[in-house]
Amino acid sequence: MRDAQFLRANTGRTIKMTVPGPFTMAQQCEDQHYRDEEALALDYAAALNDEIKDLFRGGRRRSAA
């Protein structure tokens, strides 16, 4: 959220943030805990959902792309 706030404070233009998806994150991490790709991806999805909500609260608007 701090990055979105910084951008919003320094531009009047549309800002964009790139966020990887939970499946991509599950594929790229070293899983020493879950040992269950679906459970890992679902927990990443929950964490990403919280992060995206924080980004919107920080001034990031929804984009079609």
pLDDT of 55 reads 77
Question: How many angstroms separate the CA atoms of 52 and 62, rounded?
Answer: 10
C-alpha to C-alpha distance for 4 and 51, rounded to whole angstroms: 11
pLDDT in tens, 12-56: 888 887 889 999 999 999 999 999 999 999 999 999 999 888 877
Q: What is the pLDDT of residue 5?
A: 79
Residue 65 has pLDDT above 50, yes or no: no
Q: How confident is the model at residue 60 (pLDDT cuts 50, 70, 90)?
A: low
Q: Kindly report whether the global pTM for this prediction surpasses the value 0.85.
A: no
